[in-house]
Structure 1
Amino acid sequence: MHFVKQINIKQGDNFRLRQGDIDVMEAYDWPGNIRELQNVIERAAITSNKGPMIFDLPLTAAQTHDAHKKAEPQNILSDDEMQAMVRSNMLNALNSTDWKLFGDDGAAALLGMKPTTLASRIKRMGLKAGE
C-alpha cells in the first residue's frame, strides 16, 4: 500500500490494490525482497494505461508444478462451455456496473479490456440488459 500511495502522489493517479492483487502478492516468494516489490508495483502502474494495475509475477517452481497438475484432462471445457462462461462473466460485470462500460468503475475496467472492445463483444454476442 505504501508504494501505491507514493505512485499516486507522484503521478497524480488513483491506483488501488484489489484483494485479488494482494492475494497474488502475498503468495509470491519475493526473492528480490522489498526492491522487487517496489519495481513490480511501479511496472504495474506504468503499464496500466489508466486502467486497473495488472501484476506480472513469475511463477515459482512449486506454483508451476501446481499449475501443470491442475491442467489435467478432467479440467478441459468444451468450446460451448467456455463461451457460456465468457458470456456469464461478461454479464456479471455489466450487471454489477449497471451496464456502465467506460471509466474506472465501468465493466470494461473490471474485465481488463478497452470499452470499445467490450461494446463490440456485447453486440456480437447479442447481450441485453436484464439478462
Structure 2
Amino acid sequence: MDKEKLAYFKEKLLKMRSELIDKLQKKYAEAIDIGKGDGLDSADEAYKIYNRNLMLGRVETDALKLRLVEDALKRIENGTYGICISCEEEIEEKRLEYVPFARYCTECKTELEKKGLIRM
C-alpha cells in the first residue's frame, strides 16, 4: 500500500479511536448513573439492573472495537497494515474502506467465522 493510502487510513483510524474513546466514556458514565439506587421497588430495580447490564455489554463491544483500532494503528507503524494476519495476502482496499481495522481478508474472515473462531 502506498504512503498516501496509509496516511488516509491512519487518519480514519485516529478519528475512529477518538470517537470510540468519547463514546466509551459517555456509556460508562451512563452505566454508573443507571446503577445508582434511589429506593425503587424490586421491579424497577430489576429493570434498572437489566438496563445497566445492557449498557455494559455495549461498552464491552466498543472496548473491543477500540482495541482493534489500536492494533491497526500499530500495524501501520510496523508496516503490516492491510496484510491479512492469516494468509499474509493483501486485504482488499474495499474491505479496509468499510472496516479500516480489519485483520483478515474477506476469504479468511469468512472461513474463520464458519469455524466459530472469530466474531469481529
Normalised by the size of structure 2, how large is the TM-score? 0.29
Normalised by the size of structure 1, how large is the TM-score? 0.27
Q: Which has the higher helix share?
A: 2
